[in-house]
Structure 1
Amino acid sequence: MSLRALLLLWAALSSLIAALLAIGLPRLLPGYSEWSTTAQLLTLVLVLLPLMLLLVYRLSRPLRQGLAALEAGILNFADGDFSTTLPPRGSPETRTLAEQYNAMAIKLRQERFTLHQRELILDKVLQNSPMLVLLTDARGRIVLANRETEQFFGQTGLEGQNLSELLAPYDNHTRALFDATTDGLYPLHSDQQADTYYLVQGQFHLHGQPHRLILARQLTRELARQEAAAWKKVIRVISHELNNSLAPISSMSHSGRALLPEQSDPRLHRVFSAIEERCQSLNRFIQGYATFAKLPTPQPQLVSWHAFIEGLRAQYPFVLQGDLPALSGWFDASQLERAMVNLLKNAHESGSDADAITLSVETLESGVSLRVSDRGQGMSQATLNQALIPFYSTKRQGTGLGLALCREIAEAHGGQMQLQNRPDGGVSVSLWLPEGLASEAAGAAEKLKRG
């Protein structure tokens, strides 16, 4: 029954009851007709009012029940509970309200589920992002920090810590990165290497409170890759031009020697021989640079660490430190051998005693580390910073491509290379291959066992 019909019914029943009371009271109350008009009306109202209230209470019961249910549902909404639905009963108005409430509850429930799924996806992305993600509140306390940020600071559970207190033990470069107010590139220096980070930050309001979001992405490897690509392009252009000049020079020299008479001056033969020898030497020089410029994609395979190490030892002696990994390696043996031979050659040319040159292969949680150490003269800070740049060399006959090629091979395998001076003299160079290669090696070894 609609509210309008309810009011009409209440008015009709009220009129009917009033008429019946007006007729019945004189019979029920002796002398009622002799009462004054005021007394009669007052008696009629006193008798009629409870009946009207009872009638209103009984007729409005479905409406009250519907409104009470709707009030309870709205209180559930205020508490964030969207699981309750209302039975559509009572007057058409209350049924319409209940249906609209139920539709809104279903929509809010679906939106909350979608929002929860999006939060899970966003958290998964943030936690596995290679960027440093840090969210702080107005007091500088950390609200959110992903795994990369925890690895950067070397500790877990950063939420709730004060960022300023967390940065107190770090150097000025690290504090400048997180305290910066403008986006851009920021260098970080350590004993092992210099890294470059790109900082992006923003101010946001969450729950009415200001928050600061910090995103920092390490660009060291990307910049090194772009730098190597630029050098490769330069080498290819130079090699192309030199080859175009060397080929006709060598051909003309050969033709000139053939045209010389038998009784010609021997000095002319020596001239042509010198030209051909220099052409061959320059060609070998160009081929060495072409090796860096055209390094093929690694073709990893199972490699026995014992056989690999013994192959290196046959070329340059060294002292093996620690035990070799139990599992076979998974890498391009020819490329990694070339890199390790370059490192061992540099160690022997550093002035170190052969007995002081060591090599270790260590299995880490994140991968495998191959480290070559010597007790030579070490490197100055300027040399250490530029040692991996192509064409840079402190040797008189050096090409400046040895360490650059080693880094290129390591990064082609998904790893990285680090140089550092040892505290008591000498240099330590490490090649790190990522965990994925170790897991692939284990999987390949398991397949071989199964046959």
Structure 2
Amino acid sequence: MNKKLLQKNSYFSLEGRLIAIFSVAIMLAIATTALVFSQVAELWVASIISLLLSLLLGIALLRRFIRPINKIFDALLDSMQSFKDSDFSVSIASDRNDELGQLVDAHNEIRETLRRERLELNQKELLLDTVNQTTPIAMLLVNDKQHITYSNMSARKLLRQGKLLEGLDFSELINTSMPFLENALRQKADGLFSVDQQGEVETYHVSCRQFRLHGQPHDLYLIREMTREFSRQEVATWKKVIQVISHELNNSLAPISSLAHSGQLILDTNQTESLQQLFSTIEERATYLKQFIDGYTQFAKLPSPNIETVDLADYIQSIIDMTSAQTTSIPQNTEVRFDPAQIQQVLINLLKNASESGSPSDEITLEATLKANQLIIQVNDKGKGMSAEELHNGLLPFYSTKPTGSGLGLPLCREIIEAHDGRIQLNNRQGGGLNVCLVIPQ
């Protein structure tokens, strides 16, 4: 409830009131002096009496002037003390029209602003704490003395069966509850860690962020148990693999079985002249099946890159000579470092995709630049581009938009580029077509 401190009315500025008080005091002093001198014959006695009466009248007038001002200042001091205690419910009511009234109005405006901001802050803190307490990610805030200053419900369940963690020694707690993560947490590293617990593999993602809170260094640890999520993804991946392999095997083995049966019928009728075509078809399907299996083998057994120093202009020109792609300006006398065989495999695969996209051959370009210690290679075409779904899933294994595609071309490119600590990006071009951008640190 707001506290109202009522003040008396005033219609003059403080300066005007002071002038009025002094004017009244002077006039009263003159009148008093004249009255005293008319009644007292002796001059010195009349002077003393006049001085005393004038002083008393002046003090009375000054106290009448100062009393309401003191009340306002007392109210302001009480309000400031309330502010210090984070209580913004105290407001001051005043109908003064002078500078003090303006000061009171400014105080009330500040109080209302602080009250609203405090209310909003409390609501945000409540929302943030609710989010932190309900998130499945375990959160631990540790100060520079390795004492836990904050933990959420997930952290308590993971490390201490739901009991409070605040005030405990972080190192001792981790050593007791999760010794398999002790090294990762001590190194303050980010990454995935798998451990064998009672015959079951548990996977955790651990990250650490450092910042200053109230001028003191703190570490924020985030621990997420990801075993179930990884298991679901692994099952989904295996289902996809089995589905793709089964589809391709059936597409090849069913015709081969049918052709073998037809060959047996031909042998029974001694009409061997058509066997040559039959064997050629079987060979074609068997070759396709071998290439399909080899593609999976290559994806699964990708070797580490053999980094070499390469002249960029000569290397790009050699790729151009093997394809029908065009090129723009390539930096001359520029050396870069990567595995030339693996990057060649990536570029040929991307240029092959560009030529199969329906793009005119003269619109397929290969560009390379070196900027900020990063080699940027771009393959552009004017084909049909990709839909939003294709852009999102195009780099995932086993995803293909081609009827006979294995879904391993772009994922293999991604594996090679990421093995070089780089990244690959797919973007639709304005005016149609696709841009594939490779960024390789140097």
TM (norm. structure 1) is: 0.52
Residue pair 2:143, 2:219 contacting (<8 A) in 1 also: yes
**Does the residue aligned with 1:247 lie in a helix, a strand or coil?**
helix
Distance 1:198 1:57 in 2: 74
1:202 is aligned to 2:229:
no
**1:257 Cα offset (Å):** 2.7
**1:76 Cα offset (Å):** 0.5
Q: In structure 2, do the counterparts of structure 1 residues 47 and 74 end up closer, same or farther at CA, with 3 Å as the change threshold?
A: same
Q: In structure 2, do the counterparts of structure 1 residues 137 and 254 end up closer, same or farther at CA, with 3 Å as the change threshold?
A: same
| Pairing partner for 1:68 from 50, 74, 81 | 74
**Does the residue aligned with 2:217 lie in a helix, a strand or coil?**
strand
1:221 is aligned to 2:233:
no
> Which amino acid is 1:3 matched to?
L
| Pairing partner for 1:31 from 42, 58, 76 | 42
TM (norm. structure 2) is: 0.53
**1:75 Cα offset (Å):** 1.0
Which residue of the partner structure matches residue 309 of structure 1?
none
**Does the residue aligned with 2:268 lie in a helix, a strand or coil?**
coil
Distance 1:201 1:40 in 2: 90
Distance 2:243 2:146 in 1: 51
1:3 is aligned to 2:10:
no
| Pairing partner for 1:184 from 172, 179, 191 | 191
1:259 is aligned to 2:266:
yes
Distance 2:40 2:171 in 1: 91
Distance 2:172 2:39 in 1: 91
Distance 1:192 1:109 in 2: 57
Residue pair 1:62, 1:91 contacting (<8 A) in 2 also: no
Computed over aligned residues only, the root mean square deviation of the Cα atoms, in angstroms, reads: 3.4
CA deviation string 1:149-186 (max 9, x = no partner): 11111331212222223234246422224323233333
Distance 2:178 2:69 in 1: 71
| Pairing partner for 2:60 from 46, 54, 58 | 54
Which residue of the partner structure matches residue 32 of structure 2?
21
Distance 2:16 2:189 in 1: 69
CA deviation string 1:250-286 (max 9, x = no partner): 111222233343799xxxxxxxxxx9xxx9xx9xxxx
Q: In structure 2, do the counterparts of structure 1 residues 41 and 31 end up closer, same or farther at CA, with 3 Å as the change threshold?
A: closer
Which residue of the partner structure matches residue 219 of structure 2?
212
Residue pair 1:3, 1:91 contacting (<8 A) in 2 also: no
Q: In structure 2, do the counterparts of structure 1 residues 171 and 127 end up closer, same or farther at CA, with 3 Å as the change threshold?
A: closer
**Does the residue aligned with 2:189 lie in a helix, a strand or coil?**
coil
**Does the residue aligned with 2:167 lie in a helix, a strand or coil?**
coil
**1:72 Cα offset (Å):** 1.0
1:118 is aligned to 2:124:
yes
| Pairing partner for 2:160 from 135, 154, 157 | 154
**1:233 Cα offset (Å):** 4.1
| Pairing partner for 1:85 from 86, 91, 96 | 91
- Unaligned stretches of 5+ residues in structure 2: 1-9, 272-281, 290-442
Q: In structure 2, do the counterparts of structure 1 residues 252 and 3 end up closer, same or farther at CA, with 3 Å as the change threshold?
A: same
**Does the residue aligned with 1:169 lie in a helix, a strand or coil?**
helix
Distance 1:148 1:18 in 2: 82
| Pairing partner for 2:149 from 143, 154, 159 | 143
**Does the residue aligned with 2:182 lie in a helix, a strand or coil?**
helix
Q: What is the total number of aligned residue pairs between the two structures?
A: 266
Q: In structure 2, do the counterparts of structure 1 residues 81 and 252 end up closer, same or farther at CA, with 3 Å as the change threshold?
A: same
Distance 1:204 1:171 in 2: 24
> Which amino acid is 2:129 matched to?
D
Residue pair 1:63, 1:91 contacting (<8 A) in 2 also: no
Q: In structure 2, do the counterparts of structure 1 residues 192 and 254 end up closer, same or farther at CA, with 3 Å as the change threshold?
A: same
Q: In structure 2, do the counterparts of structure 1 residues 13 and 186 end up closer, same or farther at CA, with 3 Å as the change threshold?
A: farther
**1:21 Cα offset (Å):** 3.2
Q: In structure 2, do the counterparts of structure 1 residues 125 and 72 end up closer, same or farther at CA, with 3 Å as the change threshold?
A: same
Distance 2:178 2:111 in 1: 53
**1:103 Cα offset (Å):** 2.6
Which residue of the partner structure matches residue 98 of structure 1?
104
Q: In structure 2, do the counterparts of structure 1 residues 258 and 28 end up closer, same or farther at CA, with 3 Å as the change threshold?
A: farther
> Which amino acid is 1:129 matched to?
T
> Which amino acid is 2:17 matched to?
L
Distance 2:121 2:35 in 1: 68
5 Å matches for 1:426-437? none
Distance 1:45 1:184 in 2: 91
**1:206 Cα offset (Å):** 3.4
> Which amino acid is 2:221 matched to?
I
Which residue of the partner structure matches residue 385 of structure 1?
none
Distance 1:127 1:235 in 2: 40
Distance 2:23 2:51 in 1: 17
**1:17 Cα offset (Å):** 2.0
Q: In structure 2, do the counterparts of structure 1 residues 174 and 182 end up closer, same or farther at CA, with 3 Å as the change threshold?
A: closer
Distance 1:199 1:41 in 2: 93
Q: In structure 2, do the counterparts of structure 1 residues 46 and 206 end up closer, same or farther at CA, with 3 Å as the change threshold?
A: farther
- Unaligned stretches of 5+ residues in structure 1: 265-274, 283-451
> Which amino acid is 1:4 matched to?
E
